[in-house]
Chain A
Amino acid sequence: MIELRKTTLKYQRGPGVYDINFTIGAGELVFLVGPSGAGKTTLLKLMYADLLPQEGEVEVNGFITSHMRSKSIPHLRRTLGLVFQDFRLLPDRNAYDNIALPLHILGLQRKDIRERTYAALDDVGLIDRAHHYPRELSGGEQQRVGIARAIVKNPITILADEPTGNLDAGNSMETLDLLTYLANENGSTVIIATHDYSIVSKKRGRLIEINEGRLLD
């Protein structure tokens, strides 16, 4: 469960988000939409504790970010699967190793890591690309690796920031389908931030709209 309570964050040199209140329950699919500069990325960063609120609270899967010690941040993040617009794959390792990384961080057994990594590769249809490096993959394929890396650990929540931002229409739809389908299978909560209303209309999900740092209702 994710809850923002009167959350305000103002950048030192810029705007921010103001007095945000919402609750997202387990298993929900949520689109966080708004024009460029509205504050979507800011809200996601608050959720994965890259930013801490100046006022109010952010509660994510039982962690209240402003009340926890910085040592707990990794533990919060292990309950999350993050997907980025620019994929953020590690360039010096292949698809398999990129996807296995969160499992190494969790400290799973070798055998488990193998099984789950191959299962995730299979889920995103990239078994035959397992040993390709990111530079040897297309944008759409790289984002599928990114999604596999997010879902491989069965996270409670998936946070995706413009996951289709760098993809064409076809790849966008495919990515979106994959994300929602896999999340649904796992029962993960999914929050997708996007400024692209066209993809929102194609999926049945809850809409949270933001503009100039404030929620619309």
Chain B
Amino acid sequence: MIGKLAFLISEGLRSLWRARLPALGSILTITLTLTLFGGAYLIFGNFDRATRRLQSQYRIDVFFKPILTNGEAFQKYQLLTAVEGISSTEFISKERAASIFKREFGEDVVTVLGTNPLPAGAIVLVARGHRTARRINRIADDIATIDGVTDVAYRGELVRILERYIRIAVYGGLILGIVALLGAIFLVSNTIKLSIYAKRDTIDTLHLLGATRSFVRLPFLIEGVLQGIIGSLLAVGAILGMLDVMNYILEHFVLYRLIRPAFLALFLGTMGLLLGLIGSSRGVGRFINS
């Protein structure tokens, strides 16, 4: 059994080598497809980390009425916990507000005015899973209805823009990926058909010698799977290369490095294998009957 399988694999290799030129075309298409999907996987794997770094974008500033004392404001502040979609809150007393003001504007309002006009406030972080422009709007509205809150400020615009670009990138990538995927399957099945056509006399002879259908088909399926595996190896190489280049560039601008997502090679290898298998099964299809 193992000997037979080894024989069929070597037949597949032989077949691949003979049709290496058309095979190269389908291998490169598989590489392109998997690079697109792998790129998406890379973005997906880094998205979470990136958004955590952009946490300030998911911050809502809450201001209480200036006439409320710190104590009164703190009572209102405690009502915030009832709002859905909030991960953490931080109370800002009037005194903290004044020191933040001083840090940002370089002026001490208390000495200038003789009294502290700043209201107490709170910083609210939006929980993960609620970080869409629409959800943040809802949360801000909910907070605004709390008695004693005068103002709610957040940088929703940036979130909305970020969201739009991510959506364009994801959908665009997906559409491109699917087109490439179909192309790859088509090309694999075509190279397999070519291989089969070139070997039709051999196939007839094999049948006459008592070969079963699967004995005749398996080398062609293996040929397709090999194309898929080679294609996915190239794609893994391409993505790791791109990762290095991107990190090199990022290093010069921001303190952020993309990480290699877990199971990248496994993900791409499996996809490549499936691509090759689907393509070659289509190619073998009704071609080899009996």
Residues on A close to B: CB < 8 A?
48, 50, 70-71, 73-78, 80, 82, 88, 90, 92, 101-102, 104-110, 113, 149
Given contacts A75-B210, A78-B210, A92-B18, contact A109 B205 (CB under 8 A): no
Q: Is B211 an interface residue (CB 8 A)?
A: yes
Shortest distance between the CB of A37 and any CB in chain B (Å): 22
Give the chain A neighbours of B207 by CB distance below 8 A. Answer: 74, 77
**CB of B211 to closest CB in A, whole Å:** 5
Specify the chain A residue showing the minimal Cβ separation from B212: A74
Q: How many residues of B contact A (CB 8 A)?
A: 18
Contact call B209/A107, Cβ cutoff below 8 A: no
Instruction: Give the residues in chain B near A80, CB-CB below 8 Å.
Output: 210
A73 in contact with B208 (CB, 8 Å): no
- 10 A-B pairs, CB-CB below 8 angstroms? A50-B208, A74-B212, A80-B210, A90-B202, A102-B209, A102-B210, A104-B3, A104-B4, A105-B211, A149-B209
For B212, the chain A residues whose CB sits under 8 A away are 71, 74
Please give the residue numbers on chain B whose beta carbons come within 8 Å of chain A beta carbons, in ascending order: 1, 3-4, 7, 14, 18, 201-202, 205-212, 215, 290
Main secondary structure of the interface of A (DSSP, over half): helix
Closest A residue to B208 by beta carbon equals A82
Contact between A74 and B210, CB atoms less than 8 A apart: yes
A115 to chain B minimum Cβ distance, whole angstroms, is 14
| Residue from B202, B209, B290 with most neighbouring chain A CB atoms (10 Å) | B209
- Of the residues B7, B205, B290, contact of A73 by C-beta under 8 Å: B290
Chain B residues within 8 Å of A74, by CB: 207, 210-212, 215
Q: Is A82 in contact with B209, judged by CB distance below 8 angstroms?
A: yes
A96 nearest CB across to chain B (Å): 14
Complex contact B209–A101 (CB within 8 A): yes
- The answer for the CA separation of A92 and B205 in the assembled complex, in Å, is 13
- For residue A73, which residues in chain B have a CB less than 8 angstroms away from its CB? 290
- Contact A105 to B3, CB < 8 A, known contacts A70-B290, A92-B18: no
Contacting A88 at CB < 8 Å: which of B1, B14, B18, B205? Answer: B205
Whole-angstrom distance between the Cβ of B48 and the nearest chain A Cβ: 51
- Chain A residues with CB below 8 A from B215, complex form: 74, 105
Task: Tell me how far the C-beta of B205 lies from the nearest C-beta in chain A, rounded to whole angstroms.
Answer: 5
